[in-house]
Amino acid sequence: MKKILLFTLLACSQFTSTSLMAQLQNSDIKIDPMEFNVFAESFADLQVLRYQVPGFDSLTVKEKLLCYYLYEASLSGRDIIYDQKSKYGLLLRKTLEAIYKRGGSGSEWDKFKEYCGRFWFSNGNHHHYGNEKFIPACSAPYFKSLLMSCPPKSLPLEPNESIEAFWVRVYPLFYDLKVEPKLVDLRPGIDNVLASSNNFYEGVTQKEVEDFYSKMPTTGNAPSWGLNSKLIKQNGVIKEKVWSREGMYGVAIDKICYWLDKAMGVAENEKQHLTLMLLKSYLESGDLKTFDKYSIQWVEDTESKIDGINGFIEVYLDAIGKKGSYESYVSLKDDEATKRIAAIAKEAQWFEDNSPLMPEHKKKEVKGIIAKAINVIVESGDLAPTTAIGINLPNADWIRKEHGSKSVSLSNIIHSYNVAASQRGSLSEFGYNAEVIQRIKQYGALGSDLHTDMHECIGHASGQINPGVETTDKTLKNYASCLEEARADLVALYYILDQKLVDIGVMPSLEVGKAEYDSYIMNGLMTQLTRIKLGDNLEEAHMRNRQLNAKWVYEKGKKDNVIEFVKKDGKTYVKINDYQKLRVLFGNLLREIQRIKSEGDFKAGQALVENYGVKVDRTLHKEILDRYAKLNIKPYNGFIQPKLVPVMENDEIIDVKIEYPSSFFSQMMEYGSSYGFLGVNN
């Protein structure tokens, strides 16, 4: 898929990116990390952060209005992600909101409040990263007592249903781990559709889904069939419930379209106006061919300062990679930070021509990679509260090949991550020696930034599928997302130790590449394991891809001792002995994964992921968890969103102010009240 998450606990662990700070200092709005507290609440394994939006206050009133209308459109679709994750998602959320509004106190209330925070953070009751169901830590009798104290009108009861009967109905949804145990189940040899509890399919098997879509062509300029619909079986007939203004989620989509219509009236230019018009038309009709037209127009709009997306895009939440999750963001262009990523994108053809791919898998002409850095104004759906730090769209390979793609790096998000990381640290605990630690401190932030830039604007844009081979949702199925992320990471890793990046002026020396190798291998083989429970395997696509890459090069480099595990004072460390040989190994794996994608080789892709990306060494895992626990660092971060507030004069908006809320819990309750457009049954 086409987004990159913050991928390491170490690359940003001991410092703030000096390059990014310099860019921010050059902007018209100064950000002082000592004056703006990036930290908000923390609970369970979660740390909630805040971010600022440099440049917003200097916008014209018309530009602020455009931001505000797109902001409202973004949040208007928030309900959808809850329903996509579970057909009970909105039922549970509205129940929690009704109880939370009543308030409480004491240790059991604190446990209930923590559950609410976890639920809102994950947009449902499955861990946002591990995909497993979690349950309240407070006792069921206490939960019931809270429920019974609520006014019946505040709860999502069925007609004539008592609260007692309602409790009997919702109890297993909250407390029974056997009910919807896994959001996305990627295990081999099972029916991944039936085993996954998301709300993309109902009453159909994986074979029935694959048979249904096999009738639709995926070669040439075919749309991404199934991207914006739920597949169901009714009276023995399989059909789609399309997510559109007149279809499923229509009430929320109607609100989105209302605000898009307002945004069109204050568009910056004709290209942006047409982009918004096509987006609105697509959401109204659900026509995927219109979505492709919108995607092409969005890529071609390179002039607009204000940008964003809204709709059904990434397929991480679907085990077989067909259904798009709702997500949206609104942003401002960061001109200074854009210079670095644009310099990389300018050399896209050189990178393609000099890659280790087989000649037949290289693009003869890399088209239209538009690369820029942005400052996010708001995120919603599958991008919030947890967010990517880089995004590359559109996802359709044929659009990317014929029209290009747009890569963005999220400057102010990365800034908040870096400021937060500079005030806590794990590098001294897991870094192999003083040399490695110092190199990461000096160059790690830039290495991380460059990795993101290369992953997005070069990695996802590289390579091509062989003529006649179908799209990866059909060929690589439940392994497609992991392999695509691994492929894009490998492009970044291969080139970050290339003199070319020094020559084009985006990094000072190859020491930056070495710092990135140190961080990536350390994370892929060790420190990312802090994010899963002891005994669990890796499930999330990005975690699998990082371990796949790191473990494969470790195993293949054993003969030459390229990478080794070292014991010091009873602790395990990872040590890179030969950076250049490691780069060659990254290139070899890149060539193989591109071959798998280009040829649609499912068995080879499955073998790579299952053999290298899934299983965890339990002894090493326990050691890492024990060491990390002593650092008192939360392994997961998410964000409170800024708030845009219209300034009114009579019935006219004369300005828009930006505020930075500090309470995640208050924002979640406000969102539930202001943007709760959908019912519990959709």
Write the DSSP assignment of 249-274 as a string of letters: THHHHHHHHHHHHHHHTT-SSHHHHH
Per-residue pLDDT for 281 more than 70?
A: yes
| Helix, strand or coil, per DSSP, at residue 233 | strand
18: confidence class by pLDDT, cuts 50, 70, 90: very low
Phi, psi angles (nearest 5°) of residue 143: -55, -45
Which amino acid belongs to residue 292? Answer: D
Cβ atoms of residues 516 and 450 within 8 Å = yes
pLDDT of 511-532, one tens digit each? 999 999 999 999 999 999 998 8
Residue among 514, 520, 521, 523 nearest 496 (CA): 514
Residue where the block lists tokens 């002409």: 365
Which range is least confidently modeled, 22-26, 375-379, 587-591, 618-622?
22-26
* Residue 563 CA from chain centroid, whole number: 30
Cβ atoms of residues 274 and 298 within 8 Å = no
Per-residue pLDDT for 32 more than 60?
A: no
Distance CA 353, CA 209 (A): 38
What mean pLDDT comes out for the span 418-440? 86
pLDDT, position 25: 35
Q: Which helix (DSSP H) or strand (DSSP E) does residue 659 occupy?
A: strand 652-659
Distance CA 380, CA 382 (A): 6
Contacts of 463 (CB under 8 A, 6+ apart): 357, 361, 362, 363, 487, 594, 597, 598
Looking at the chain, the whole-number percentage of residues with pLDDT higher than 90 is 83
What mean pLDDT comes out for the span 29-33? 43
- Work out the angle at residue 624's Cα, subtended by the Cα atoms of residues 623 and 625, and round it to the nearest 5 degrees: 95
Distance CA 505, CA 89 (A): 49
Write the CA distances from 372 to 93, 304, 348, 452, 491, integer angstroms.
36, 12, 14, 12, 19
What per-residue string of b and e applies to 532-547 under the rule 16 or more CB within 10 Å gives b?
A: beeeeebbbbbbbbbb
Distance CA 64, CA 468 (A): 47
Write the CA distances from 595 to 336, 484, 612, integer angstroms.
37, 12, 18
* Structure tokens given for 70: 């797109």
Cβ atoms of residues 341 and 4 within 8 Å = no
pLDDT, position 35: 75
Distance CA 141, CA 111 (A): 13
Cβ atoms of residues 669 and 403 within 8 Å = no
pLDDT, position 367: 80
Which amino acid belongs to residue 9? Answer: L
The chain-wide mean pLDDT, for the chain, equals 92
| Helix, strand or coil, per DSSP, at residue 326 | strand
17: confidence class by pLDDT, cuts 50, 70, 90: very low
Write the CA distances from 160 to 143, 152, 157, integer angstroms.
22, 10, 8
Per the model's pLDDT, the better-predicted residue between 414 and 561 turns out to be: 561
Cβ atoms of residues 463 and 590 within 8 Å = no
Instruction: Give pTM, 2 decimals.
Output: 0.85
535: left (phi over 0), alpha (psi -120 to 50) or beta: left
* Structure tokens given for 206: 């994986």
Distance CA 312, CA 139 (A): 37
Whether a cis peptide bond, with omega within 30° of 0, leads into 394 is: yes
Residue 348 half-sphere exposure toward CB, CA atoms < 13 A = 29
What mean pLDDT comes out for the span 493-502? 97
425: confidence class by pLDDT, cuts 50, 70, 90: low
Instruction: Give the DSSP letter of residue 642.
Output: P
pLDDT, position 5: 52
Distance CA 47, CA 637 (A): 5
Distance CA 411, CA 338 (A): 9
- Work out the angle at residue 207's Cα, subtended by the Cα atoms of residues 202 and 211, and round it to the nearest 5 degrees: 100
Residues in the chain: 682
pLDDT, position 392: 87
Which range is least confidently modeled, 11-25, 89-103, 601-615?
11-25
* Residue 302 CA from chain centroid, whole number: 23
Per the model's pLDDT, the better-predicted residue between 251 and 11 turns out to be: 251
Distance CA 339, CA 654 (A): 34
Per-residue pLDDT for 14 more than 70?
A: no
pLDDT, position 553: 98
Neighbour tally for 452: CB within 10 Å = 27
pLDDT, position 19: 38
* Structure tokens given for 142: 């206490």
Distance CA 492, CA 390 (A): 13
Rg over CA atoms, the chain: 24
pLDDT, position 24: 33
